[in-house]
Amino acid sequence: MSETSNKNGKVVVNRSMSLDGFIAGPGHAMDWGPLAGFVAPGDVAEVAAATGAMLIGRRTWEVGDKMEAEDPGSTDYPFSGPFFLLTHRPLEPPDPDVTILSGDIGEAVATALDAAGGKNLEILGADVAGQCLGRGLVDEILVYVLPVLLGDGIPFSSPGLTRVDLEPISSARSGGATILRFGVRK
């Protein structure tokens, strides 16, 4: 466990990925990967139930907002815990259900993990996940490999990320997806 982990909660980078390693298509397109279209609902619910808080990058937030505006319900996820948004800019309009954090990634993870109340903290966003991996703050990576080749887009690893050694935990088929779990070697 990382230095910031409490008794039960893990810091988990959680994302869907194309077979060729992209987590978003060109222009941040996410029309290829609604989890609900591929992963068995029980598996999504199980992951959500183990999650106590989410730490989200601003670009991920904005892509989610746009998807929701264009296709209401498309970002639905069975989670109702605290959201922490990493950004240098205020939300317009402000959202009372979201806590804005800025600055040191270690402090942001510690704050959000504390709020997770012993459950897992989910990290969303390539840049934010890269910062967390680079600082050794991540305990586990959970990837939903979806049956598509995107050819181009936002890769799993953000620029500047150096080698991270992983420990396989499990792999399982779920609907049309394959769920891979890895522990991060410290």
Ligand X SMILES: NC(=O)c1ccc[n+]([C@@H]2O[C@H](COP(=O)([O-])OP(=O)(O)OC[C@H]3O[C@@H](n4cnc5c(N)ncnc54)[C@H](OP(=O)(O)O)[C@@H]3O)[C@@H](O)[C@H]2O)c1
Smallest gap from residue 87 Cβ to ligand X (A): 3
d(CA 186, CA 166): 9
Only one residue has tokens 């892509």, namely: 63
Decide whether 7 or 162 has the Cβ nearer to ligand X.
162
The beta-strand segments (E) located in 35-159 are 51-57, 83-86, 98-101, 120-124, 140-146, 154-155
Decide whether 8 or 102 has the Cβ nearer to ligand X.
102
Decide whether 10 or 15 has the Cβ nearer to ligand X.
15
Q: Which long-range contacts (C-beta less than 8 Å, at least 24 apart) are formed by 131-135? A: 131/105, 132/11, 132/13, 132/105, 133/13, 133/161, 133/164, 133/184, 134/160, 134/161, 134/162, 135/105, 135/106
Smallest gap from residue 103 Cβ to ligand X (A): 5
Considering Cα of 179, then 10, then 56, then 26, what sign does the dihedral take?
negative
Decide whether 6 or 74 has the Cβ nearer to ligand X.
74
Smallest gap from residue 115 Cβ to ligand X (A): 17
Q: Which residues bind ligand X (CB under 6 A)?
A: 15-16, 23-24, 28, 30, 33, 57-60, 63, 86-89, 102-103, 105, 124-128, 131, 154, 158
109's tokens: 């993870």
How many Cα atoms are found within 13 Å in the side-chain-facing hemisphere of 98? 17
Smallest gap from residue 7 Cβ to ligand X (A): 26
Decide whether 120 or 131 has the Cβ nearer to ligand X.
131
Smallest gap from residue 37 Cβ to ligand X (A): 13
d(CA 54, CA 109): 10
Decide whether 105 or 177 has the Cβ nearer to ligand X.
105
Smallest gap from residue 65 Cβ to ligand X (A): 11
